[in-house]
Amino acid sequence: MKMNFKTMKKLVPLLFLLFLLASCGTVKEYEKVYISDPDMKLAAYQNERFETNFQVYREGAAGANGGKTGGGCGCN
Amino acid sequence: MLAITVVFSAWAQVQDSTQTYKKRVLENTEVDMLMSLYSQDGDHSAVGGGVGTENLQDITPTIVVSIPLNDDDVLTIDVGISAYTSASSSNINPFNNTGASRGGDDEHEEEDDDNHFTGTSNGQPTGTPWLASSGASRSDVLVSGHVDYSHSSDDRNFIWGTNVSLSNEYDYTSFGFGGNVTRLFNDKNTELGLKGMVYLDTWRPIYPTELHEYNLYGNDFLSKGYFEGVDVINQSGTVSTDYLPSGFNAISKRARNSYSASFFLSQILSKRLQAAIFFDVVRQEGLLSTPYHRIYFADKNNYYIGDAGCIPVYTSPQNKGVYQLADDIERLPSSRMKLPIGARLNYYLNETFVLRTYYRYYTDDWGLKAHTVNVDLPIRLSQRFSITPSYRYYTQNAVKYYAPYETHLSTEQYYTSDPDLAKFNSNQYSVALNYNDLFNDFHISKLLLKSANLRYSHYDRSDGLKANIVSVGFKFIIQ
């Protein structure tokens, strides 16, 4: 698969800034039915922790996923 | 006076209603029982200097217990064991007989099984990077424990926590501690978090056998200890006494310390859309290389132990009986600064589909740059069952100290042939089956089943490494 990462690298931070700025209103607690769904959680599934472990060993990059950032193992 | 009394009692009731009601952070004790089975294979073992089998199996049972201490506080205990066997790490000592204990049989070869070679050649020890040896480093057990405490304010808009962790395996011990704070505001639409973590780790270095013996006995190590009476052969297959890894020095500083600061910001964007951004700053210091990763220099002659007839096919699995002696071990800088930044965007499409996306950009001062993209699509089959297909793409360039087998020069200061630090990309395909026991129908004594899941992933790396992992988890609540 070939992906244009240079363009993505420039666009992603901009998109997120736009999203954050666009959120002028708030969603009330009683309107959070969909947001509160377990699949909507902004974190990896618990059963992905073992995959994250082997990815930390087999890949050079780690972190920015709310979990392990480095250290605690004889890995990269 | 009456009016003042009415107003005061009304205000008091309002105060009472906000002070007396407080939803518990965690209603019941939760127990997660998790297990994974992992298997991989490849052709670029770092123990073999970039050549050899990467065959490895691992089984990891884990239990996580979350205990509500009161309305506001939760204690979480996470304990796991990782038991693995590795053909690659078995070849830290790839020779199945010592010189002192070698047999006198002529051309005696036997195989325990397809993956384990216990050969000799004319009474001389042999080895190969393509099969596991029977060395003690073939298997190991990692035990780890993590305790986390968190406290939430009465209005649940401020959470702070602290944690401590400990892990140990044969050659590595880790002690970690940290803290975190989270603030919710804007009607809990916005969440801001900060986390700090410190790991104070220690290696107990194990060296490749030939370097261990050189470090022990010095220049005449080939006539003592493990290699007494063993023939070392050169590239032409002729017996030679010239092998001398004089560039090797034992590691004196064995600490590896890691310091990280993590930041996250999440925002509800609409009734169906929310996003988060994660940013870490990580600094590592100390022994950042792996002491048993071999290095072979292009400007040094090659020396072997074993069957000279296998030298021409050394870098292929056809090599059944010769092992090349190392020139040195991997050497890497004693500091590393890592900067990953990631983002999640989740969208509730409808009652059946949820779209989960994740992107991470990573850079560090070793020259590594990487991109990660992950997409999950949970599909609700019924109220109790859902299936989640996932896809993950990863790509990285090589660190500036990487070169393949037999490419580095002895004049370089830092060098590694670890394929995990090379340029590659990978594809990972996953599927998970999830079950939610809405009414806790299934139970074992006081353990009521809340959910169960089964997940399978296949990982394909562009350098030929392939891995499969199956994980299963059960979440119970204690009544």
User: Residue B350: its pLDDT value, please?
Assistant: 95
Tokens of residue B162, six digits = 């602290």
Tell me how far apart the alpha carbons of residues A41 and B275 are, in angstroms, rounded to a whole number.
10
Listed range (B54-63, B217-226, B414-423) with the worst mean pLDDT: B217-226
Averaged pLDDT for residues B397-418: 98
Residue B276, pLDDT above cutoff 70: yes
Averaged pLDDT for residues B71-88: 94
Backbone angles phi, psi at B15, to 5 degrees: -60, -45
Q: Cβ distance B335 to B285 under 8 Å? A: yes
For B330, which DSSP code? -
Residue B406, pLDDT above cutoff 50: yes
Determine how many CB atoms are found less than 10 A away from the CB of residue B386: 20
Helix, coil or strand: residue B429: strand
Chain A residue with Cα closest to B186: A26
Q: How sure is the predictor about B23, in pLDDT bands with cuts at 50, 70 and 90?
A: confident
Chain B residue with Cα closest to A41: B346
To the question of pTM greater than 0.90 for the whole model, the response is: no
Q: Cβ distance A76 to B401 under 8 Å? A: no
Residue B18, pLDDT above cutoff 80: no
User: Residue B9: its pLDDT value, please?
Assistant: 44
Nearest to B378 among A1, A29, A39 (CB): A39
pLDDT digits (tens, 9 = 90+) for B119-137: 555 778 889 999 998 877 7
Q: What is the dihedral of CA B463, B464, B465, B466, to 10 degrees?
A: 140
B96: enclosing H helix or E strand: none
Q: Per the CB < 8 Å rule, is A46 touching B197? A: no
Question: ipTM, 2 decimals?
Answer: 0.85
Which residues, numbered 1 to 20 in chain A, qualify as contacts with chain B under a Cβ-Cβ cut-off of 8 Å? Answer: 1, 3, 5, 8-9, 12, 16, 19-20
User: Residue B143: its pLDDT value, please?
Assistant: 95
Q: How sure is the predictor about B5, in pLDDT bands with cuts at 50, 70 and 90?
A: very low
Q: How sure is the predictor about B111, in pLDDT bands with cuts at 50, 70 and 90?
A: very low
User: Residue B418: its pLDDT value, please?
Assistant: 97
Tell me how far apart the alpha carbons of residues B18 and B417 are, in angstroms, rounded to a whole number.
62
Q: How sure is the predictor about B441, in pLDDT bands with cuts at 50, 70 and 90?
A: confident
Tell me how far apart the alpha carbons of residues B258 and B165 are, in angstroms, rounded to a whole number.
13
Share the mean pLDDT of chain B: 90
- Site from A8, A39, A48 to mutate, B interface, most B CB atoms within 10 angstroms: A39
Tell me how far apart the alpha carbons of residues B459 and B372 are, in angstroms, rounded to a whole number.
14
More confident residue, B300 or B110: B300
Nearest to A62 among B169, B340, B457 (CB): B340
Residue B116, pLDDT above cutoff 70: no
Tokens of residue B327, six digits = 């020139």
